[in-house]
Amino acid sequence: MAKSSALSGVDVRLNPLYIVAVAVLSVLYVWTLYNIPVLVVGVKDLRLSTRKKKERSSLGREELPTVSIVVPVKDEEKVVGRLLKSLLKLDYPPERREVIVVEDGSVDNTAKICAEYADQYPKEIRLIRQSASTGKPPALNCALKHAQGEIVAVLDADNVPEPDMLLRAVEYFKEPSLAALQGRACAINAEENMLTKFVSYEEAVRYETYLRGKDALNLFVPITGSCYFIRRNVLLDVGGWDNECLSEDMEMALRLTKRGYRIRYAPEVRSWQENPVSLIQLIRQRTRWFRGDMEMALKYGKLMTKPDRRNVDAEMTLIGPFLFILCLMSYFLGPLTFLSPFQSETVFVIVTQVTSAITLVPLFIIGFALMYVTKPWRVANLLWLPFIYAYWSLQTLLASFALLQIAFRQPKKWTKTVKTGKAANRDFTERVPSCGLKRG
């Protein structure tokens, strides 16, 4: 029999607060338990990767597929020259690649810099200028109309790809069933300040644990906005990017998955990019990501009507932002249940304790991964764990704010992350020394 309140004699299971608390904690428990194997497999694969090195493409020069590298840019005068210089130095036959830069109504010197490179290297760089800014998805679709490559690669203006990026990427496309590939985005400014250092570790764990695990388990691999590759015929088949979407990368990944196409993650296909240098920039960026992903969750909820492992995993990925909101609710529900005039039900106590214990498991796994995301691996990276836990708390607030924007139908606004052009990362300068820091 259920315990009853000594004061009111009411069955505790009839307490709405109790019911809500158990429901919230149960959902968090199931979602966390679902993702633990993904993280474990990702860490295992990461450890094994330190002992082996994947070979570059074995294809002959004439066998290499043609690649169109698409770069949408707007007000990027501090970084776009660096990118174009690095693209010209890619270890890939010039006749097998093309660079398409879509200049999206810049008001600084971006257009001038791009024009200089296009004039100097007309056979390798094509410049498309738009007088009015239309956003990243329309710019990508504009480039797709002109792309001739068998594979379309997407990079942001602040990217600096490693010289062998294309050679390593095309090796994966020898697999006929592969439609898209997500590469590894590394922090070019990790050592600029404490925030960029922290975000670099957070992103490293995300790629090298979460995406590795998804790829190894043949689950849904999301596209993350830059350093990704899609077959051009597949892009044409799905109709290009969604012009009205804040998360055109996630939307594309979901559309590909819905059509039955496969996406993989390639950790050795690397490009370096900037992390937000201030808390305000980080908040704006992540709020936009959360809103975009939530809108995609509402749009692609029907994936569960065709349940297979990738569709189910895609839905589990999409509910992540909503789970952050439930985490915020749990922060308040716990104390409120103790203040409730009703006694705690045994089931509630068990669910609370188990959920707390299970929630610590991913944190432990992430801590283990932190030691391996740098080479040589460092035990001292564990000191970042408290910051990651605090960052999770910030995420709950940002996800809640994004949901309010959707609920009140706030206008969609693409908030651009300001780039500084700094390369404050010793690993970058050691791995890509030829790219330099100045426009050539």
**Confidence (pLDDT) at 95:** 95
CA distance 221 to 119: 38
* Fold of the CATH domain 1-440: Spore Coat Polysaccharide Biosynthesis Protein SpsA; Chain A (3.90.550)
Strand locations in 37-130 (E): 67-73, 97-104, 125-130
102 forms beta bridges with: 72, 128
Residue 79: φ, ψ to 5° = -130, -25
- How much of the chain is in helix, strand and coil states, percent to nearest 5? 55, 10, 35
Least Cα distance to 106 among 127, 89, 85, 120 occurs for 127
Is the bond preceding 37 in cis, omega lying within 30 degrees of 0? no
Greatest alpha-carbon span in the chain: 85
DSSP 324-345: HHHHHHHHHHHHHHHHSSSPPP
**Confidence (pLDDT) at 123:** 95
Q: Angle at CA 162, nearest 5°, toward 161 and 166?
A: 80
- Strand 228-231 relative to strand 151-154, pairing: antiparallel
Q: Where are the domains of the chain?
A: 1-440
Under a CB-based contact definition with an 8 Å cutoff, are residues 345 and 3 in contact? Answer: yes
CA distance 427 to 276: 18
3-state secondary structure 274-286: CCCCCHHHHHHHH
The one-letter amino acid at 300? Y
> What tokens were used for 342?
């009703």
**Confidence (pLDDT) at 439:** 38
CA distance 156 to 160: 9
Q: Angle at CA 171, nearest 5°, toward 210 and 43?
A: 20
Contacts 24+ apart (CB under 8 A), 161-165: 161/86, 161/87, 161/90, 161/227, 161/270, 161/271, 161/272, 162/270, 162/271, 162/272, 162/431, 162/432, 163/89, 163/90, 163/91, 163/432, 163/434, 164/56, 164/91, 165/90, 165/227, 165/269, 165/270, 165/271
Least Cα distance to 283 among 384, 432, 402, 382 occurs for 402
**Confidence (pLDDT) at 334:** 55
CA-to-CA dists, residue 138 to 80, 103, 130, 141, 241, angstroms: 19, 11, 11, 5, 8
Written as tens digits, the pLDDT of the chain (440 aa) is: 444 444 444 455 556 766 776 777 778 778 888 999 999 999 899 888 766 555 556 677 778 999 999 999 999 999 999 999 999 999 999 999 999 999 998 999 999 999 999 999 999 999 999 888 888 999 999 999 999 999 999 999 999 999 999 999 999 999 999 999 999 999 999 999 989 988 998 898 899 999 999 999 999 999 999 999 999 999 999 999 999 898 999 999 999 999 999 999 999 999 999 999 999 999 999 999 999 999 999 899 888 777 899 999 999 999 989 988 877 766 665 555 555 554 555 655 655 656 666 666 777 777 777 777 776 667 677 777 777 777 878 888 999 999 999 999 898 877 778 898 999 988 888 888 765 444 33
DSSP 183-223: EEEEETTTTSSHHHHHHHHHHHHIIIIIIHHHHHTT-----
CA distance 389 to 395: 10
Neighbouring residues of 44: CB distance < 8 A, sequence distance ≥ 6: none
